[in-house]
Every structure is written in C-alpha cells, then in structure tokens.
Structure 1
C-alpha cells in the first residue's frame, strides 16, 4: 500500500534527521570543549607578559618581580639570542645546553624539550622558551591540560548518555506525533467494531488509511441498511402469512371437530378426520412458533416478568400432560431437590411454560413407540460465583439427530439463516428438503437466552439429554419474601 510506504519513508527520514542532529550537536560540543579546555591561547598571552618583564640591566638580562610571579607554575625558562645562545635562564636543568641550533629550536618550539612541554614567544630578535612541568600538558596539534585529559573518560561517558537521552527525546517527540496521527484511526476502528458510522480526516501520513476506513464504514452502512430492510420485509411477511393462514386453518379445524362428533361417520372416516384435526393443530403450533421466534429474534417480544416457583410450574406442566390423556406408552417423572422447592425466580411464566412444553412435546412426538422422560431440577454455582437453576430433561428414546444439533448451533440469531447461506439468496429445493427441522428447539433456545440463561444439548448414549440453566441472581425464597413484607 502507498500509505505503508509513506509511513516507512517518513520513519527513515526521521531516523536520518535524528542522526544528523546528534552529529551536529556532538560537533558543537567538541568545539566548545576544545575552546574551553584548550590552554594554547591563554598560555601564549601569559608568556608574552613574561617576555616583557625580562629587562636588560647593562650587565645582563634580569627578570622583574612581576615576571617571577608570572613564572609561578612553570618549571623553567630561558632566553635565546639570534645566534641561538642562552643569554638568560631561570631554573633550567643542569643538563640543558647553552646553545641551540635552528634545528633544535624547530624541534621543541611546538612540542617538547627533554619531555618538558614547551611554550615559545618571539620578543624582537630574541626567543623566550618556557617549560612546564612534565606530564602537565598533552600536546597534539592543540594543547590541553592534563586535568582535562584525566577527565576525558568520564566526559566520554557523559556524552554517550547525553546522546542517548537526546535520541530518546527525538524519538519521543516524533513518536508522539505519529501517535497523534494513529489515535483517530484506532478510535475509528473501535467505532467500526461497535457498528457505528465514522468519518476520519484524510490528511497526513495516515490519510490513505483513513480513506480506506471511511470507505469501509460507508460500505458497512449500506450493508446494514440492506439487512435491516430485508429483516423488516421478512418480519412483515411472516406476520402477514400467519394472519392469512390462521382464519382458514380455524375453519378447517372447526369443521373437522364437527364432523368427528357426527353420528353418521364410520370409524375410518373419523380416523381420517382425526388426522386432519391433529395436523391442523401442528400447523397452528408451527405458526405460533414462527411468530414467536421472529419476535424474539428482533427483540419485539416483551418479557412479562413476575415471580414464580419453578418447581411448582414444572409440576403443573407435567400434570397437564397426564390430564390431557397422555398415552400409556409414555411416562414423565419429575424430581426437584429439596432446596429448589422454596426458590422464587423472576421471568415470563408464559414463555418458560412454552419452552418446557416444547421439550417434553419433542420427546413424545419423535418417539412414537413410547419413552420415559425424566426431569430433574437442582441448583449449581459456576466459577464466578453465579448461581443457576438447572433443569435437566432426559428420555430413553431415539435421541436428537446430529444434523439437528449442528443446525441449531449454526443458526444465527441476527439473520435467521444457516451459517454459510448467502444473505438474500433463496434456498434451492434440495437445500430446503435437506435442512433439518429445528424450529421447536430453536424457540426454546431463544426463550432461555432472552432470560439470560443457557441452553445445552449434552451427549447421551441413548435418548436425548437437554439442560436449561436460568440465573438465580434475582431468586428469593418464600421465607425471605415474607420477611421483606
């Protein structure tokens, strides 16, 4: 991408700039140290003063008191005439000669004489030579005092630390600039994750990235509008079809009931009418499930919250099956733990009754040769300390097909489509036939999830094993409720 190349180019340019700045500042620092610690100019001025204090007394050359004061700190001094003869000396070593050739003068004038650092000053036709103590001055092109040379190691470390700090300062400054450029992009990505629309300024080194994010946001907004329009059309279609089917279905079921009660119908005709009536009831329940799942899917079904005893509710559901003529090949057993009996929880009793009836009804409908349904109710606590009411339903029938379990897991709450189906693309006849019927279990799962619960299909060697977990965060016992009143 061009934007990435631009960012890389800016960073390379920044690194080159930092390097150049550090080099320039180091050069300036070296020059300052040279000027501050260099002794040549200061020494030359002092030696010129000493030369002026050497006077010709007629009998020879003598040094004034002021000159002796100026010589304090120096090791020795002598004065040469134009022929290189020593015409005046001060504390010179005994082994120094009394005459120096031009070659000797050229050798020591800028460097050393017998390991003594030497400073020279021309006074008329004469040459003043002043020697400093051995190992007091380091001379190489320029002259530095030995205290400075002894400090050079610590100064070098200080310079390194200063360079490191300077580089960090530059990096912080440019990093802060880059952070300020990236911060709107990070905020935009977070907003996109929240499905919010964004519009970032498309300038600077991140301008192209901002442009791409803006384009992505616009594309997502268009897709969102298409999905919302499709979902609205789907909901309206379901509501309309359900309404249109309900009236003729009621007439079919009503006439079937009337004909079943007629005395002139033989056994075979009544059997056929019974099938018509039962299939009409199934269609009615399917329509109700379709409407309910659509409302739950788009949060259009209000929860009528009220307190109730879950153990008492389950007994009523089981009893209603027996009172409505449960066939002898089916048995329903319910067992609630003692601690569950007094518990009160909050929820929509009508929806939860529908969910539990669907689960029991599934076991009965899919096991025509009969089965036993065992229902248990207990409590548990998860790792976070959250309490749950656990209702487990098992039967010893044919179990739940694997494709039904997979279809239930793949069902997407936001789209109502199987995973992998393209939005807006109709199913083929083959796909429609092969897709498992999961409406009943899907409705149960939606009801449980709408109550903040969990729906689990567990592996079983035989039959079905389903667990429904409802939160106990708002649970109360009957005794606590009485105390509060």
Structure 2
C-alpha cells in the first residue's frame, strides 16, 4: 500500500515538473516564433544607422528600405524643433510637427494607434512605426532590488509549485489509499476464510461488492465442505468400528477351521482363503482410517531425528524376510553423499510409506519384477526413489496421483499410494509418480533434511 501511494505521489510530482518544463518550452518557442514573425532582420538602432545625411539630403540604405516595405512599416526623423525632416512610407494621418508632450507619448506607446519605436538619432529622433493593430505594447517597471532578488525567488517559486503539486497529489491519493487499505484487509480476511463485509460506496465500490460476494460464496462452500468431510470422517470411523468386531469373529472361526482335522483339505483351504480375505478387509479399514486422519490432521505425528539410511535398510530386511516372493527382487542403492542423511519425521509413517510402494509393485506385478530403492542427496533435501520394471501406472491413475482432485481416491492403485502422498506431505515433502521410458513405474519422494 505504501508503495502504491509513494508511486502515485511521485508520478503526480513528475507530471507537474514535466508540465512546467513543457509550459516554459512552449512559452519560449512562442515568443521566439512571435519575434520571427514580427520580424525584422534589423533592430531599431540598426535602422537608424542606415539613415545617412549627404549633401543636406537624407537617404536610407537599400536593405533597410526593403525591410520597411516588406513589413508595411514607415519611418520618420523628427528634429530638435519637433518637425519631421525626413520620412518614408509615412501614413497621411501622421502629423508632421510635434510638441515635447507628443514626443514623450509616442516614445513609449503609440502614435495615432500606430505602434512605434524610437531611437535617439544624431540629428533628432528616429521613429519607426508598424501598421495599426499589429502590435500589443505593455509597460513593465520593476525595482532593481526585485530583479536582484529574482535569483532567489524564482527557484523558490518553482519549489513551492512542486511541493504544492506533491501535497495535492498526496491529499487526492489518500482517499484512494484508504479505499485500497480496506480492500487489502478484506482480501487478507478472504484468504483466511473470514467473513468479509466491505462498504460498497466510493470509487472502488464495485470491487468491494465483488469481494463481499466472493466471501459469502466461499463461506457457503466451506460450510458445505466441512459438513461433507465431517460426515465422511464420521462414517469411516463408525463403519470401521462396526466391521472390526464381526470381522474378528470371522477370522477367529476361520483360524479354527484351518486347524480342524475333521474337515477335508479342501474345506481347510477355503478357511485359509476366508481368513486371508478378512485380513485384506482389515488392512483396507486401517488404511481408510489412516488416510482420513492424515487428510484432516487427526493423526498424531511423533517427529524425531531419523537417520534415513539405516531406516531403509531395516525396512528392506523386514520385507525380504517376510513379504517378498521368489518372483520379486529388492535392491538398495545409496549414494556416497547420502550415507549420513538425517530427517525430522515419524519413523513409523515413513516406514509405512515405503512399504506401501514396495507392496504396490509386488501386487500389480504378480508374475514378478525387480524393485530398486535409491537414496540420494539434493539441495537441502533427501531424494528417495522406488522403481520397478513391471507394468507401470495406467495413464488415468498416473494423472490422478500427480494432480489429485479429491483427497482420497479409491481405485485399484489409489488408497495405498494416496497414503504415501499424504505421509510425505505432512513431513513437508513431495511425491511424484511417473512411468520411465524403459517401462515400469517410479515414485520419487523428497524430504527436507536436517543440517549436519
């Protein structure tokens, strides 16, 4: 706001200075052009010098005579007794004799409405007249002290003009500033989802009304979204609670049926399938709860300093010992500069995110694939990539993973990878999903590192 006001005032001052310069330039050009139009190649004293006396007869030089003729001027010479002793182009209504009073009048102003100029000549008074109504003459008398002080007063006058222009611009800009300040406050409140009610009068009234309307619309949308999200969270928590108890009973009976020798082998295998599918349902319920809590900041994050390399090695060992099949391989590559990376995070959630990526590669490549985990160090970040050479992400799934429209997307790939994205986000990092040119899929996670 201060920048806007200062630029407004400086712009107004610059415009004022520019206009002063333009005005002075135009005035000077106008005066110069007027002088050129008026004239003459010769001044009054040069014309007087062109008049010579020879053998008792006055004659005017040809250039001066031509100058008078071209500009319809006339000239005369008055002797000491007040009589005209020489003239050229003298109008008929101009007298030929003059008193001392007449000479005093014409020497400054007009003679019979003819603008005249006079010059002291050695034989009298040399007079040059212009056509009637061709010149405007004004008398100006200033004390010498005033002229001497003009070197101080003229610059001071210009400075006062500039200060006045700045003050006026400041006063006019203050009203705009106050209006903009209200709008700025309204926009800040709008960004924080606070109700906004700005006065709709003044030059920016239309804009204020638009902000008020946008605020009301956003409040309505926020209320509707909160209502929907609360309903979804409540539904997930309720359905999870309601499913766990019968699911535990089913898993318990299925476990007993697996061990019941009275059942046939086929019946025991069906019990194994029942228990396995119940475990999947239980895992899905846990994922739903975790995703919901992460989305709405309900999951407690227990952050601590974590040495990333040992954590990934431990996780890989657990996967190799318990979950990986003979059709899949898991390799870890750690760059030299990433051996001592330390991050601030929740070790259980980080393990969950990496485990989900490994399980996702195994789940969607049942015929086998090679999984590689690589840790490298970027600028103030740790880069952790999980890559496989399997079938890759479907295009639609890839687009939803990188540009999610909904916080929780439940498709074939979605929930486990959504949890990965949420875990990395709550740690201040990013997750990007891609299909490399050579096939398979790649997930790159970036996490901020602590300084060593």
Please say whether Structure 1 and Structure 2 have the same fold, judged by a TM-score greater than 0.5.
Answer: yes
Going from structure 1 to structure 2, the CA distance change for 1:111 and 1:218 (only over 3 Å counts) comes to farther
Of the candidates 417, 437, 440, which is equivalent to residue 416 of structure 2? Answer: 440
Question: What is the Cα deviation at residue 440 of structure 1?
Answer: 0.7
The Cα of 1:362 is off from its aligned counterpart by 0.6
- Residues 35-75 of structure 1: CA deviation (Å, up to 9, x unaligned): xxxxxxxxxxxxxxxxxxxxxxxxxxxxxxxxxxxxxxxxx
Asked if 2 retains the 8 angstrom alpha-carbon contact of 1:403 and 1:436, the reply is: no
Structure 1 position 376, deviation (Å) = 2.1
* Superposed displacement of residue 159, structure 1: 8.2
Tell me how many residue pairs correspond in the alignment: 348
d(CA) in 2 for partners of 1:336, 1:157:
75
Q: Which residue of 2 aligns with 1:399?
A: 392
Q: Write out per-residue CA displacement over residues 79-107 of structure 1, whole angstroms, 9 at most, x where no aligned residue.
A: xxxxxxxxxxxxxx982335696985697
Q: Among residues 429, 432, 452, which one is paired with 1:456 in the alignment?
A: 432
RMSD: 4.1
CA contact (8 A) 1:448 1:454 kept: yes
1:14-93 correspondence to structure 2 within 5 Å: none
Match of 1:210 in 2: 208
Task: Provide the rounded CA distance (Å) in 2 between the counterparts of 1:110 and 1:257.
Answer: 136
TM-score, scaled to structure 2: 0.65
Secondary structure in 2 matching 1:307:
strand
Unaligned runs of 5+ in 1: 1-14, 27-92, 119-130, 419-431, 477-485
Preserved contact between residue 404 and residue 437 of structure 1 (Cα < 8 Å): yes
Corresponding residue of 2:293:
295
Distance change in 2, residues 1:445/1:188 (3 Å): same
Partner Cα separation in structure 1 for residue 293 and residue 250 of structure 2: 27
Task: After superposition, give the CA deviation of every residue in 1:208-262 in whole Å (9 maximum; x if it has no partner).
Answer: 4334423332332232222222211111111111111111222222222222222
* Contact map agreement 2:357 2:417 (CA 8 A) in 1: yes
Gaps of 5+ in 2: 1-11, 24-76, 85-94, 109-115, 129-134
1:182 Cα deviation (Å)? 2.1
CA distance in 1, matches of 2:323, 2:178: 74
Deviates more, 1:345-354 or 1:335-344: 335-344
Question: Paired residue for 2:193, among 185, 192, 195?
Answer: 195
Given that 2:315 and 2:351 are in contact with CA atoms closer than 8 Å, whether structure 1 keeps it comes out as: yes
Deviation, structure 1 residue 365: 0.8
| Paired residues for 1:260-279 under 5 Å | 260-279=258-277
CA contact (8 A) 1:407 1:436 kept: no
Q: Tell me the equivalent position of 1:170.
A: 168
Alpha-carbon distance, 1:291 to partner: 0.7
Distance 1:265 1:172, change over 3 A: same
Paired position in structure 1 for 2:378: 381
Matched, 1:390 2:374: no
Cα deviations by residue, 1:336-365 (Å, 9 ceiling, x for unpaired):
345544544332121111111111111111
Q: SS state of the match for residue 140, structure 2? A: strand
SS in 2 for 1:239: helix
SS at match of 1:142: coil
Question: Residues 115 and 346 from structure 1, CA distance in 2 versus in 1: closer, same or farther, beyond 3 angstroms?
Answer: closer
Asked if residue 330 in structure 1 is aligned to residue 323 in structure 2, the reply is no
1:416 and 2:407 equivalent? yes
- How far apart are residue 180 of structure 1 and its match? 2.2
Partner secondary structure for residue 280 of structure 1: helix
- Aligned residues of 2:375 and 2:383 also touching (Cα < 8 A): yes
Note closer, same or farther for the CA distance 1:328–1:140 as it changes in structure 2 (3 Å cut): closer
What are the superposed Cα offsets for residues 439-464 of structure 1, whole Å, 9 maximum, x if unpaired?
11010111111111221223312112
SS in 2 for 1:144: coil
Structure 1: how far apart are the matches of 2:78 and 2:397? 117
Shift in alpha-carbon separation, 1:182–1:274, aligned structure 2, 3 A: same
